[in-house]
């Protein structure tokens, strides 16, 4: 008996592309474009540009998936697939510069990422050698001072907004703190310069403390926003329990509200430091640049890592490569510091946050 049974047709999947189809198409497009580029670089010389190959391969995929889906699934599904692939393309486009940047900073920065770089300044150095010790101490001093200014002001403002503030003053502060997050960093530097040049009557003033003031202007709104969010999520029951025991309001805030939210506040402060530690423009204006060590925030020019990177790039001597190598090493140092701060912030949030579950 060989009565041919018709194959059972799954009506849910007919007329649809199989699930693996987009992935296979994407991989296929990348391979095709890479092959084209490899042939071109083999035939016509020139370098093999992997980023461009990936990018054009993704574009090819966008077109291919639209055409194939249009033929198999119809116009509406094709449009849906096109948008899906375009959205994924956007993500890949954003990844390309990130990967390229990290790769370049690592490969170029490691040339001079040595002991000498961290143990010597640029004093009397022309050409090779030298290091960024003066810039690293400068960054630590200026950013530390900025943190000392910003954290009390920012935290007290956040407490005001959450615990005390009602009415027009609180609304004005909330609004202008938001607006302040958008102040261009160079304007903060110009303000610090204009302020101290007028107050101290020195039209060419350059000193580290001014840099701290400029950075505080950028840092305070970030601290206020993050602390405010953290204070808001402290449960009201804790405050009420404390009041019920007869504890005054200020002690309730100091002993109950802040300890409960301290992990979140510390995370916010660390992220704020990470944000301002890479600022270049304000420090270029008010702290200036120098080749020597300077431990005094209140007199003379003070170098910082971002400005170090900029000046090494912008004012090279006769041996350009030595200066560029130092610039890249400085960039690598800066990125490592920022990444470390971000990591610390996440660790603080994870380890010290109050355990609410039982």
Contacts (CB under 8 A) with other proteins, residues 297-316: 306, 309-310, 313-314
Site for other proteins in 100-129 (CB under 8 A): 100-101, 104-105, 108
Site stretch for other proteins (CB under 8 A), options 34-42, 58-66, 127-135, 161-169: 161-169
Residue selected from 53, 133, 269, 334 as contacting other proteins according to rule CB under 8 A? 334
- Cα separation, 283 vs 272, whole angstroms: 17
Binding mask 269-288 for other proteins (x = CB under 8 A): -----x--xxxxx--xx--x
Query: Which residues make Cβ contacts (< 8 Å) with residue 15, sequence separation at least 6?
Result: 72, 73, 74
- Within 2-31, the residues that bind other proteins by CB under 8 A are none
Nearest to 125 by CA among 332, 319, 302, 330: 319
Position among 68, 86, 238, 262 found at the interface with other proteins (CB under 8 A): 86
| Binding to other proteins in span 231-250, by CB under 8 A | 248-250
How many Å apart are CA 207 and CA 193, to the nearest integer? 10
Is 264 near other proteins (CB under 8 A)?
no
For 322-339, give the DSSP string.
HHHHHHHHHHHHHHHHHH
Given the rule CB under 8 A, which of 8-16, 24-32, 72-80, 255-263 is the region that contacts other proteins? Answer: 72-80
335 binds other proteins (CB under 8 A): yes
Provide the 3-class DSSP secondary structure of residue 284.
Answer: helix
Distance between CA atoms of 108 and 119, rounded to whole angstroms? 20
Which part of the chain contacts other proteins (CB under 8 A), choosing from 24-32, 112-120, 197-205, 255-263? Answer: 197-205
DSSP SS3 for 201: coil
Helix (H) or strand (E) holding 95: helix 75-109
Q: Does 340 bind other proteins (CB under 8 A)?
A: no
Residue 175 or 298 with smaller CB distance to other proteins: 175
Question: Binders of other proteins among 139-158, rule CB under 8 A?
Answer: 152-154, 156-157
Instruction: Report d(CA 111, CA 129) in Å as an integer.
Output: 12
CA-closest candidate to residue 260, choices 242, 240, 241, 233:
233
| Positive or negative torsion for Cα 102, 103, 106, 108 | negative
Residue 90 binds other proteins, judged by CB under 8 A: yes
Query: What is d(CA 243, CA 345) in angstroms, rounded to the nearest whole number?
Result: 32
Region near other proteins per CB under 8 A, out of 4-12, 14-22, 120-128, 164-172: 164-172
List the x/- string, 27-66, binding to other proteins by CB under 8 A: ----------------------x-x---------------
The 3-state DSSP class for residue 104 equals helix
Site map (CB under 8 A) of other proteins, residues 208-227, x = contact: ---------x--xx--x---
């Amino acid at each position: 008996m060989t009565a041919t049974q018709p194959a059972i047709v799954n009506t849910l999947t007919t007329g649809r592309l199989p699930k693996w189809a987009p992935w296979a198409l994407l991989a296929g497009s990348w391979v095709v474009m890479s092959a084209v580029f490899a042939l071109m670089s083999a035939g016509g010389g020139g370098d093999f540009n992997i980023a461009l190959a990936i990018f054009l391969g993704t574009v090819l995929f966008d077109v291919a998936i639209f055409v194939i889906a249009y033929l198999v699934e119809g116009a509406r599904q094709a449009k849906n697939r096109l948008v899906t692939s375009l959205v994924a393309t956007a993500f890949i486009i954003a990844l390309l510069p990130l990967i390229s940047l990290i790769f370049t900073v690592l490969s170029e920065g490691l040339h001079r990422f040595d002991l000498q770089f961290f143990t010597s300044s640029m004093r009397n150095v022309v050409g090779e050698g030298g290091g960024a010790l003066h810039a690293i101490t400068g960054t630590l001093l200026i950013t530390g001072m900025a943190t000392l200014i910003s954290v009390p002001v920012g935290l007290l403002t956040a407490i005001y907004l959450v615990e005390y503030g009602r009415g027009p003053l609180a609304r004005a502060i909330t609004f202008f703190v938001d607006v302040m997050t958008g102040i261009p960093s160079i304007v903060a530097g110009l303000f610090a310069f204009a302020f101290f040049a007028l107050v101290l009557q020195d039209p060419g003033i350059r000193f580290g403390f001014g840099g701290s003031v400029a950075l505080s202007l950028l840092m305070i709104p970030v601290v206020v926003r993050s602390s405010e969010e953290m204070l808001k999520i402290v449960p009201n029951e804790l405050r009420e329990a404390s009041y019920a025991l007869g504890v005054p309001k200020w002690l309730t805030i100091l002993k109950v509200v802040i300890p409960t939210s301290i992990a979140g506040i510390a995370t916010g402060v660390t992220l704020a430091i990470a944000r301002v530690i890479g600022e270049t423009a304000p420090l270029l204006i008010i702290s200036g640049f120098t080749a020597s060590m300077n431990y005094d925030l209140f007199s003379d020019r003070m170098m910082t890592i971002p400005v170090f990177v900029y000046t090494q790039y912008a004012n090279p001597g006769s041996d350009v490569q030595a200066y560029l190598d130092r610039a890249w090493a400085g960039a690598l140092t800066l990125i490592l510091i920022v990444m470390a701060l971000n990591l610390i912030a996440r660790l603080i949030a994870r380890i010290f946050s109050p355990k609410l579950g039982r």
